[in-house]
Structure 1
């Protein structure tokens, strides 16, 4: 299975594990209007309220997709390791108001405003067909590290994240030379028929024996036309399309796809953090958390006796701890622990309360407890210049874990 992890605070978003993104292939409500192929669209994507021109676009999309598109999409998600993440849980709660995070915060309130005024039928159709995954999936399969890359809508995080990546590679005791940091810009993907066509051809496969490129290109043009029909979606620039960040690795995978180790940073999550006043600290927090997942990949730290939700929670809380250890360490970012944890309290509140879910990332209290503990490990060390080997830090974390989960054991 592919390994993708997104952060919950990555901070919660999340990789990947998160392919940080994955929306369900279909909505939970299966009652609704019949499609030309006999499938049923959920009531949330009922097209009855659409103007004739927009409805015609939706009808063409339905006619172009193969009858087995859902199973194709599910297979692709499984093949590439697309899993739900805390960031995508926030996003999904916006797209489908029936899905709610356990706690309202400034960040979830901001996310909820992103689709104000959008046509529910258009949003529902995009969700139904996986449209809110397209930018993330493009970054996964096509993104590459380049000196010309920019981070943030206007490139405002380019210097900060580029420097952060270099610092993280120097700090941790892993072979990190091949880890790429890749931006995710929604409009770049969702305004380019050629680029979106490539993504669609991978996500849905090429169901047409003849001229598969033309089929995918035609479908991409229809989807772009649908997005452009609603000004709230901003031609794909709405932050909802890139409200994600995740780490990805194929280490130990029996069927590697040939994708390099990477960390993907979406414009949307960076915009969200800036909107709630965390634009200075959160990008570093997200990056350090996602890089911690790469430490886990290389040191085989995903292995444990825990299973189900407890196993995922352990993985994410460890990434929170490792990330904070780096951020507060004298040879890391050397950030003031009090200030950092005050900020962390704001963005770790996107922790989830899905105690029985295999995607459980830890509650807000547990996430903050992990960060607070790691900050004390860094700050209380007798030798401030010594960086603990990752396996030693893991040993300390494993011993502390029972205490870290006590506040909200569920």
Structure 2
């Protein structure tokens, strides 16, 4: 009769060895487990930080987005944070943007920060108007945007043929080709392909991003000078147009925002880079002059007023872009220059318009703000 005890003993011993082998294999398997969403977002954020750090020093010179986004994005800060202005209430557009941002979880906020920064670099440094541009989430603003930039090119006396108008679309984040082009602007070449794939992965694995259609991703516009990344351009965000429509400014949205951003091109053409709120309030004034002028859009008094209220909606309270009242006053001043001039068809030379506004600017600023700024400058140079 065979010795079954020894057979079972060997069998159990082998089984025991297999259990040990499996037990020791678990950590190795865990080490190759797919990364979590949190890990993906953290890695993407670092990739975008590295991208910004790898950009040329002049890449972002002069680029100042229309609003201070509530999303704390990677990249340099153009204006130092200050305490809010007492008694000031932010404009309705900023209030709405802050409300949207407050609904995000910390993970979502970090994903938005990385992808919003990435999408701005795409539209600034890669996108080109040589391909068809679609303005608005469904293309509903394309004809208005094109007509506005065409009219502006013939209105102001600056070199305009090379000022591009490009659409800022969150859905571009879903293209690995476009994201690879963007990361190639400043990320180490060996990391570009993986970073591009990760960007599109995060876009779809974080539901709050809505596949790139959440307004916060593109709730902005900006203008860039010739010597910045990508050269002269005006970028118009889908999220901004959607939000302005929601707030009731749809009938003046495209023309007003493009007119303002083109106003930055007027400043750039004359190397005018004011270190104060007039950097944003000046383009409000130039834009107001354009929409009210007989050779601009010749809008009536009611529509002109609506433009000034849109200007006010993007005012902030941090000595940055101008308060709602200041933005409104700057736009109204520009409109008045058009409606009160003796010859309604004469267009004031752009250099003259800049000088006129710089003389008006101190009158639009509360004395306390000027004194505070003067004290800050004095202490900085003492």
Match of 2:360 among 400, 404, 408: 400
How far does the alpha carbon of each residue in 1:81-132 deviate from its partner, in whole angstroms, 9 at most, with x for none? 1666452434559xxxxx99963544234324545765432322552xx322
Equivalent residue, structure 1, for 2:77 = none
Cα displacement (A) at 1:351: 1.5
Aligned to 2:200: 224
Q: Does the CA-based 8 Å contact 1:152-1:270 persist in structure 2?
A: yes
Shift of residue 385 of structure 1? 1.2
Match runs of 1:55-74 below 5 Å: 56-59=36-39, 70=49, 73-74=52-53
Structure 2 residue aligned with 1:184: 168
C-alpha displacement at 1:195, in angstroms?
1.6
Uncovered stretches (5+) of structure 1, i.e. residues with no partner: 1-52, 94-98, 305-310
Structure 1 residue 184, shift from structure 2 partner: 1.3
Offset from partner CA, 1:342-400 (integer Å, 9 cap, x none) = 34224423222223xxxx22211111111111111111111111111112222322222
Residue 320, structure 1, aligned to residue 284, structure 2: yes
> Displacement, 1:154?
0.9
Q: Confirm or deny: 8 A CA contact 1:184 1:267 kept in the other structure.
A: yes
Give the match's secondary structure for 2:359. Answer: helix
Q: Deviations over 1:243-265 (max 9, x none)?
A: 11111112xx4xx65x3311111
Q: How many pairs align?
A: 326
Structure 1 residue 261 and structure 2 residue 232: aligned? yes
- Larger radius of gyration, structure 1 or 2? 2
**TM-score, L = length of structure 1:** 0.71
- The 1:231/1:339 distance shift into structure 2, 3 A limit, reads same
Out of 255, 262, 266, which is 1:291 matched to? 262
| TM-score of the pair, normalised by structure 2 | 0.76
Alpha-carbon distance, 1:222 to partner: 2.4
Establish whether residue 111 from structure 1 lines up as the match of residue 97 from structure 2.
Answer: yes
Q: Distance in 2 between matches of 1:100 and 1:219?
A: 37
Q: In the superposition, relative to structure 1, how do residues 64 and 352 fare at CA in structure 2: closer, same or farther (>3 Å)? A: closer
- Tell me the C-alpha RMSD between the 2 structures: 3.0
Which deviates further from its counterpart, 346-355 or 238-247?
346-355
What's 1:271 paired with? 242
**Aligned residue for 1:195?**
178
2:369 alignment partner, SS class = coil
Residue 242, structure 1, aligned to residue 218, structure 2: yes
Please report how far the alpha carbon of residue 403 of structure 1 lies from its aligned counterpart in structure 2 after TM superposition.
1.1
For residue 140 of structure 2, give the secondary structure of its aligned residue in structure 1: coil
When residues 349 and 77 of structure 1 are mapped into structure 2, their CA distance, relative to the original with a 3 A threshold, is farther
**Contact in 1 for aligned 2:41/2:107 (Cα 8 Å):** no
User: Residue 60 of structure 2 corresponds to which residue in structure 1?
Assistant: 81
- Is the aligned partner of 1:385 residue 2:356? no
Match of 1:233 in 2: 209
